[in-house]
Amino acid sequence: MAGQSIVLRNNQPVALTEIPRLSLDAFRAWTVSQVEAGKRLAVLCCFPQIHGFLLCAVLADDANGWLELAGAEAAQEFPSLTPQCVQAQLFEREIFETYGLRPVDHPWLKPVRFPCASHHPNHKIGEMDYFQVEGPEVHEVAVGPVHAGVIEPGHFRFQCHGERVFHLEISLGYQHRGVMQALLQASESQRRHLMETAAGDATAGHTTAYCNALDALAGRQAPARAHAIRGIALEFERIACHIGDLGAMAGDVGFLPTQAYCGRIRGAALNMTAAICGNRFSRGLIRPGGVAYDLDDAIIRHLLERLEAVRADAVSAIELLWITPSVLERFERTGVVSKEIAEEIGLVGPAARACGLNRDVRHDFARGIYQFQQIPIASVESGDVYGRAMVRWLELLRSMTFVREMLLALPDSKIMSEPGAMKPESIVVSLVEGWRGEICHIAVTDAQGELSGYKIIDPSFHNWFGLACALRDEAISDFPLCNKSFNLSYCGFDL
């Protein structure tokens, strides 16, 4: 395969000229063969050039911890990868909707986000052809965009036979705020705030991915202490969200003790982040070159105390789930995604690890503090709601141990490195394991070393389709439970 792609590490910048430019057919053949060989399509995207577009595919080789990048130049269309490679289907729809670059022979080019400047002829939100099942007694249930709870908007359509779901179609775009369009015109500080709210419950994840990408392009290394604090913020985010979701899953099966306790404990976890930077969602903490807030001895002592209290409360609240038959009965064998399906559609994060796929950026593509302090991967085989709940529980225990070790042995250094100019005409891929899974950012610079292209892929982009698969042949009444076991981001998808 020599010459067809370039091998990269996470956060390793390369000159744009080093990306092999394949013919469109060779690009498709190479990408399809790599995915067939077991690699994962982390990104398929395109960047506008002076003439036409540069298509880029990034394949993740999780086992070896490297990325392979290949490119192809396209003018108006390219042969669709989707008929041979399911993982490409959403990326190709996004490319067409955003740039009008048509994937020829794509089976169904549905809208993705319904942006104002869409290349679809009809782009009014929600107006599209939906998947439909016909037959006697088959009926359709449409839900959203506004849901009954305090959650983000999205539209779900179920094709049902009685209670049984044949198919769930998830149609999003209601949260589309124009993040990607605004990024390139924004100042550095504005860009960072856009990253912080790209998916606001994964602020540390997206901001770390952004800052790691910029640092790599500028050839600057955040000091060790800053990497440790970024890691602590990232794990606090994971701890808070996993606790909150386990509580909400308990609520969805009507087990109120764990629901009531976890809602409160989640807040206590968010307050630990606030002790570092004043904001419960780590806003303003992570910046290019390092972090903005240091931890003094008093804060470290405070955090260690709070962490122990959160651990004790979380253990007492969440372990009730595993000994309560009425909970287990609802969790087990509900919303199953098989390992084969998970692999085929390219699931990431806890949803993938619940299907027995051992993929975790902190392990496979370790950067920053994770190069020095390893977190064991938590995975189970069952692929059901129980599996996703158990993976989250194991992860949050391990994250708490990790944070404790970090706090007890925080590297002694500055928290901000010297600024540097970004390399011109370069590209970098930046992966971070957010609490939902792999957050991927790609940054491209122009001849002046300014950002000329940027791409954000939230883990939800890969995983929404997994939720649809989990609902196949399930009872429609289990949808809230299945949904919460994934708890994907609407705004991180819609951007």
Q: Is 290 in the site for other proteins (CB under 8 A)?
A: no
DSSP H or E stretch at residue 454: strand 451-457
Q: Which of residues 2, 135, 136, 323 is near other proteins by CB under 8 A?
A: 323
Compute the least distance from the CB of residue 295 to other proteins, in Å. 11
Q: Is 267 in the site for other proteins (CB under 8 A)?
A: yes
Q: Is 199 in the site for other proteins (CB under 8 A)?
A: yes
Q: Is 312 in the site for other proteins (CB under 8 A)?
A: yes
Tokens of 443: 């940054």
Q: Is 382 in the site for other proteins (CB under 8 A)?
A: no
Q: Is 317 in the site for other proteins (CB under 8 A)?
A: yes
Which of 336, 449, 441 shows the shortest CA–CA distance to 382? 336
The partner residues of 74 in beta bridges, in order of sequence, read 53
Return the residues of window 324-343 that contact other proteins according to CB under 8 A. 324-325
Q: Tell me, what DSSP letter sits at residue 131? A: P
The answer to whether 471 and 158 are in contact (CB under 8 A) is yes
Q: Is 260 in the site for other proteins (CB under 8 A)?
A: yes
Residue with tokens 């051992």: 358
Return the residues of window 397-456 that contact other proteins according to CB under 8 A. none
Q: How many helices (H) and strands (E) does the chain have?
A: 16, 16
Q: Is 201 in the site for other proteins (CB under 8 A)?
A: yes
Q: Is 278 in the site for other proteins (CB under 8 A)?
A: yes
Return the residues of window 81-140 that contact other proteins according to CB under 8 A. 113-116, 125
Binding mask of the shown chain, residues 210 to 249, with x at each position contacting other proteins by CB under 8 A: ----------------------------------x-----
Q: Tell me, what DSSP letter sits at residue 416? A: B
Q: Which of residues 49, 76, 132, 189 is near other proteins by CB under 8 A?
A: 189
Compute the least distance from the CB of residue 116 to other proteins, in Å. 6
CA atoms within 13 A on the CB side of 358: 8
By CB under 8 A, the count of residues binding other proteins is 68
SS3 content of the chain, % helix, strand, coil (to 5): 45, 20, 35
Based on CB atoms, which residue is closest to other proteins, 93 or 192? 192
Long-range contacts of 153-161 (CB under 8 A, 24+ apart): 153/490, 154/490, 155/126, 156/479, 157/130, 157/131, 158/471, 158/476, 158/479, 159/131, 159/132, 159/133, 160/476, 161/135, 161/137
CA dihedral angle for residue 152, residue 89, residue 115, residue 465, rounded to 10 degrees: -10
Distance set, CA 477 to CA 3, 227, 324 (Å): 52, 44, 20
Compute the least distance from the CB of residue 114 to other proteins, in Å. 6
Q: Is 301 in the site for other proteins (CB under 8 A)?
A: no
Query: Which region, judged by CB under 8 A, interacts with other proteins, from 44-52, 208-216, 258-266, 350-358?
Result: 258-266
Based on CB atoms, which residue is closest to other proteins, 2 or 148? 148
Based on CB atoms, which residue is closest to other proteins, 178 or 449? 178
- Quote the CA–CA distance of 116 and 124 in Å, as a whole number: 9
Query: Which region, judged by CB under 8 A, interacts with other proteins, from 156-164, 186-194, 329-337, 447-455?
Result: 186-194
The answer to whether 417 and 220 are in contact (CB under 8 A) is yes
Q: Is 388 in the site for other proteins (CB under 8 A)?
A: no
Tokens of 241: 């969200």
Angle, alpha carbons 340-345-347 (nearest 5°): 90
Query: Which region, judged by CB under 8 A, interacts with other proteins, from 2-10, 216-224, 257-265, 367-375?
Result: 257-265
Q: Is 281 in the site for other proteins (CB under 8 A)?
A: yes
The answer to whether 385 and 249 are in contact (CB under 8 A) is yes
Q: Which of residues 73, 140, 313, 425 is near other proteins by CB under 8 A?
A: 313
Classify each residue of 175-204 as buried b or exposed e, where b means 16 or more C-beta atoms within 10 Å of its C-beta: bbeebbeebeeeeeeebbebbbbbbebbbb
Q: Which of residues 320, 328, 475, 476 is near other proteins by CB under 8 A?
A: 320
**Contact footprint for other proteins (CB under 8 A):** 113-116, 125, 145-146, 148-153, 173-178, 181-182, 187, 189-190, 192-194, 197-203, 244, 257, 260-261, 263-264, 266-267, 270-271, 274-281, 283-284, 292-293, 312-313, 316-317, 319-320, 323-325, 489, 491, 494
